[in-house]
């Protein structure tokens, strides 16, 4: 299967802890995106990478959030000092340069207790 | 403010009939529109798209119509099948947006009854 993969699929953590999620995009895709989806809403854009460069960040991405794509392949999204409001599905997507179509992974569901 | 809206949270249709899902947008910069389908516990799956230079795009049972003057698009599924039961998201993007980031509507849950 050469689709977008995400790990872990589920994460339960206590408030104040740090969490890190991983995304492996489709191998030939040089663009990688992170979105967040809360219950009953559509996905909301968080940030985007062109190869290893992080080129855009949403205002939703507070300073507790950091994303990296060190070698232009996989990406990590870290949330420090988690809050209950961070509970959501975190989706990763990838696309070819210049294409509008983005292909999503299965998501990581984060629950902060 | 919501730039992409799907005003019907749910839709129920009989198998074999047509399903029509609607989407409205407010941002005139949007020049590309996509529909995604989402099953529980899975990520959204790309279904069909349309550029603003067209008013219709068809792929098998799925057709998307775009009315730019009304800032409205719709997805038609004919004939509807029970396997089409899912949440459908409308999304929009613009060439000027960094990385062609997508702005999504809130989704419409489609239930196709056998």
For residues A56 and A6, the model is more confident at A6
Is the predicted pLDDT of residue A101 greater than 70, yes or no? Answer: yes
Which of A68-72, A96-100, B37-41, B97-101 shows the lowest mean pLDDT across its residues? B97-101
Size of interface A-B (CB pairs under 8 A): 67
**A108 close to A21: Cβ distance less than 8 angstroms:** yes
Percent of chain A with pLDDT over 90: 80
**B9 close to B110: Cβ distance less than 8 angstroms:** no
- Residues from chain A that touch B43, judged by Cβ atoms under 8 A, are 4, 6, 91, 93, 104-107
Peptide bond just before A73 cis, omega within 30 deg:
no
**B45 close to B34: Cβ distance less than 8 angstroms:** no
The helix/strand/coil state of B20 is strand
Separation in Å, CA of A91 to nearest CA in chain B: 7
Is the predicted pLDDT of residue A2 greater than 80, yes or no? Answer: no
**CB of A48 within 8 Å of any CB in chain B?**
yes
**CB of A33 within 8 Å of any CB in chain B?**
yes
- Residues from chain A that touch B102, judged by Cβ atoms under 8 A, are 33, 35, 43, 45, 100, 102
* Local confidence band at A72 (pLDDT 50, 70, 90 cut-offs): confident
Q: Which residues contact A110 (CB under 8 A, 6 or more apart)?
A: A11, A12, A13, A19, A21, A79, A82, A86, A87, A88, A89, A90
**CB of B98 within 8 Å of any CB in chain A?**
yes
CB-CB under 8 Å, A104 with B45: yes
- Residues from chain B that touch A88, judged by Cβ atoms under 8 A, are none
Is the predicted pLDDT of residue B30 greater than 90, yes or no? Answer: yes
**CB of B46 within 8 Å of any CB in chain A?**
yes
* pLDDT on residue B70: 97
Give the span between the Cα atoms of B59 and A62, in whole angstroms. Answer: 40
Is the predicted pLDDT of residue B60 greater than 80, yes or no? Answer: yes
Q: What is the DSSP letter of A54?
A: E
Separation in Å, CA of A18 to nearest CA in chain B: 23
* Local confidence band at A71 (pLDDT 50, 70, 90 cut-offs): confident
Q: What tokens does B36 get?
A: 């995604």
Give the span between the Cα atoms of A9 and B35, in whole angstroms. Answer: 24
Dihedral sign computed on CA atoms, order A107, A109, A110, B3: positive
CB-CB under 8 Å, A91 with B44: yes
* pLDDT on residue A1: 55
Separation in Å, CA of A106 to nearest CA in chain B: 4
Q: What is the mean pLDDT of chain B?
A: 95
Instruction: Identify the bridge partners of residue A79 per DSSP, sorted by sequence position.
Output: A19, A65
- Residues from chain A that touch B93, judged by Cβ atoms under 8 A, are 100
């Amino acid at each position: 299967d050469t689709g977008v993969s995400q790990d872990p699929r589920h994460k339960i953590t206590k408030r104040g802890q740090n969490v890190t999620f991983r995304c492996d995009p489709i191998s030939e895709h040089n663009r990688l995106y992170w979105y967040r989806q809360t219950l009953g809403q559509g996905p909301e854009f968080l940030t985007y990478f062109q190869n290893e460069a992080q080129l855009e960040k949403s205002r939703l991405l507070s300073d507790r959030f950091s994303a990296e794509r060190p070698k232009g392949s996989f990406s990590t999204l870290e949330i420090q000092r988690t809050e209950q409001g961070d509970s959501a599905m975190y989706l990763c997507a990838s696309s070819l340069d210049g294409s509008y179509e983005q292909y999503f992974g299965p998501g990581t569901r984060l629950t902060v207790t | 403010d919501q730039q992409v809206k799907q005003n019907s949270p749910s839709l129920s249709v009989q198998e074999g009939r047509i399903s029509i899902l609607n989407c409205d947008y407010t941002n005139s910069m949007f020049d590309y529109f996509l529909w995604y389908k989402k099953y529980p516990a899975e990520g959204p799956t790309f279904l069909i798209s349309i550029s603003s230079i067209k008013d219709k795009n068809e792929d098998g049972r799925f057709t998307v119509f775009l009315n730019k003057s009304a800032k409205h698009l719709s997805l038609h599924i004919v004939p509807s099948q029970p396997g089409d039961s899912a949440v459908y998201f409308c999304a929009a993007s613009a060439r000027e947006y960094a990385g062609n980031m997508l702005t999504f509507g809130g989704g419409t849950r489609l239930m196709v009854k056998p």
